Amino acid sequence: MSQTNRSRNTENKLADALLASLEGKSYISDVPIRDLTAACGLDRQTFYYHFKNIHELAEFACNRELDSIIGPVDDENLTWELMFERIGNGFVSHKPFYDAVAMLSSVRGLHRRFIAYCRQILIREVKPAFLEAGRSEDDAADTIEVLSCAIAASLTGWMTGYLDFETARLSEIITGIRNTYLAGVTRVE
């Protein structure tokens, strides 16, 4: 096994141990690192070789779980509809993970990951529309960034329980945000 595979294996073991340790905890920081390393048969030095702190491990676990639920960020076939369907199905099958994400220290990582997903989908949708409308690539990049952040904020709020509505309603809201914004910015003045 190569060094990279061993490292990834160790990181995955620690992420699994973290997710298993979250039951009954209010915050990720309530999970002692020594408990995680003991569960994996590792020492604390190994933990700190791979992660700066428990929050970095939480972000790694969050990204790994989202990739398993939604698919990789760079999936060329990922659409809004498919992303929402996978999020909805994942909510049922990965409930402990979603509960863990609601813990404050995971929200920042979750939000960054959603921005990455949204950015990839919008690059495929927005850039061609901008170029067809005679707008510049810089305009497209700025719009993609603004929309990615707005949509990711809605997704993050929904996932962490700050926004209370069903997945289908979330899809309608986000589609509305995207369509309204794009209708205004793709017009050439």
- Is pLDDT at 121 greater than 70 in this prediction? yes
Residue of 107 and 154 predicted with greater confidence? 154
Q: Which two tokens stand for residue 181?
A: 């914004």
Average pLDDT of span 42-66 = 89
Model-level pTM? 0.69
Provide the pLDDT confidence category of residue 104 given band limits of 50, 70 and 90. Answer: very low
pLDDT in tens, 150-186: 888 777 777 666 555 565 666 677 777 767 666 665 5
SS3 content of the chain, % helix, strand, coil (to 5): 75, 0, 25
Assigned token pair, 118: 């949204």
Specify the 3-state DSSP secondary structure of 1.
coil
Residues belonging to the chain: 189
The CATH number of 3-185, from 3.20.130.10, 3.40.50.620, 1.10.10.60, 1.10.357.10, is 1.10.357.10
Please report the pLDDT score of residue 187 as a whole number: 54
CA distance linking residue 44 with residue 53, whole number of Å: 11
The average confidence (pLDDT) of the chain is 78
- The percent of residues above 70 in pLDDT, for the chain, comes to 75
Residue 17's H or E segment, with its range, is helix 3-21
Q: For 2-41, write each residue's pLDDT tens digit.
A: 668 888 999 999 999 988 887 777 677 788 999 999 999 9
pLDDT at 44: 94
- Lowest model confidence (mean pLDDT) among 31-40, 84-93, 110-119, 146-155: 84-93
pLDDT band at 134 (very low <50, low <70, confident <90, very high): confident
Contact 15, 60 (CB under 8 A): yes
Contacts for 63 with CB less than 8 Å, ≥ 6 apart: 109, 113
Cβ(110)–Cβ(162) below 8 Å: no
pLDDT class for 89, splitting at 50, 70, 90?
confident
Domain extents for the chain?
3-185
